Amino acid sequence: MRLIIHGGFFSESTTDAQTKADKQNALKTIVTKAYAYLENHSALETAVYAVSLLEDDVLFNAGTGSQIQSDGKIRMSAALMDGVSHKMSGVINIEEVKNPIEVAVQLMKYDDRILGGEGATQFARQQGFDVFSTEVPQRRKEYEAKLGTKGLGTVGCVALDAQGRLAVATSTGGKGFEMVGRISDSATVAGNYTNEFCGVSCTGVGEDIVSNATATKIVTRVTDGMPIKEAFAKTFAELKPYDGFAGAIGIDKDGNMFHKDSHPSMVFASYDGETIEVFN
């Protein structure tokens, strides 16, 4: 069993030591709890569980604590993918639900599995998700100061369970201060992708991740036989010509875990049952 999670990007120049320590502690706690959950749940259930814990933590830009868009509203996106069935489900620009990833879970049961905007919010209400404000004062302050991409803090999880099944979940509040209608990479195959060979979840500037098809390319390269480390290296090298800003975490079917970022620094934690590794 293997588990790796990320909490988006962390900027040394704009984040204080206390916030860094808080994020390290939060990721360590969540990776430990989620690994214990993985002991008797599937990779798919665990990816959802880990991401819902990250959504509930105000330190991260997903669920509670999401960034605010240019019109003053919060719209969130989340996606889930099962490496066994190859099914992906997701919500794009959903409003006022506590855990967007849980709405993606419900969509797994439908033929129409990725919903956007009002349709996604309406579906959530029909499924019994209460109206919940995910706004926190810190994000409102940043919004008022027009601090768009300062807090790239999307969350994600890749899990490999005891049966060798892979699953990926990703959730985001977006870039912050974006145009209404803008679509994040998080609920696309560029930002969240897995099959039975490899799973990858991304964070960073969604437009760069979509241009690079980051998660899909890494997974395809591993599927075709490239070692995960090389698949990350080659895919990240392809971001260079346009200074693409991305971070990614991944696990292959043999349990090799990997993470990489194009700029300093993505925050992450991983656990293989023996050692917890946390960004520093």
Q: Name the token pair of 38.
A: 């993985």
- Name the segment binding ligand ASP (CB under 6 A); options: 51-59, 84-92, 149-157, 226-234: 149-157
- Name the segment binding ligand ASP (CB under 6 A); options: 93-101, 117-125, 157-165, 200-208: 200-208
Among 186, 188, 194, 235, binds ligand ASP (CB under 6 A): 186
Helix residue ranges, H only, the chain: 17-38, 43-56, 100-107, 117-126, 137-144, 206-212, 214-223, 228-237
CB 80 within 8 A of CB 101: yes
Nearer to ligand ASP, 63 or 153 (CB): 153
Nearer to ligand ASP, 54 or 226 (CB): 54
Rule CB under 6 A: say whether 166 interacts with ligand ASP. no
Among 203, 212, 216, 262, binds ligand ASP (CB under 6 A): 203
Report the nearest approach of ligand ASP to the CB of residue 189 (Å): 14
Q: Name the token pair of 197.
A: 């060979």
Nearer to ligand ASP, 30 or 38 (CB): 30
**Omega within 30 of 0 (cis) for the link into 265:** yes
Q: How far apart are CA 217 and CA 236, in angstroms?
A: 10
Question: Which residues are annotated as catalytic?
Answer: 154
Q: Name the token pair of 216.
A: 């899909």
Rule CB under 6 A: say whether 184 interacts with ligand ASP. yes
Q: Name the token pair of 173.
A: 């509040």
Amino acid code (one letter) for 257: M
- Name the segment binding ligand ASP (CB under 6 A); options: 24-32, 112-120, 171-179, 257-265: 171-179
Among 4, 5, 8, 193, binds ligand ASP (CB under 6 A): 8
Nearer to ligand ASP, 175 or 259 (CB): 175
Torsion, Cα of 48, 157, 213, 208 (10° steps): 110
Among 63, 204, 244, 250, binds ligand ASP (CB under 6 A): 204
Helix/strand/coil for 193: strand
Rule CB under 6 A: say whether 152 interacts with ligand ASP. yes
Rule CB under 6 A: say whether 65 interacts with ligand ASP. no
Rule CB under 6 A: say whether 153 interacts with ligand ASP. yes
CB atoms within 10 A of CB 110: 11
- Give the CA distances from residue 159 to residues 16, 34, 250, in Å, rounded to whole numbers and listed in that order: 30, 9, 9
Report the nearest approach of ligand ASP to the CB of residue 215 (Å): 11
Q: Which residue has the tokens 């985001």?
A: 172
Q: What is the binding site for ligand ASP (CB under 6 A)? A: 8, 61, 152-154, 172, 174-175, 184-186, 203-206
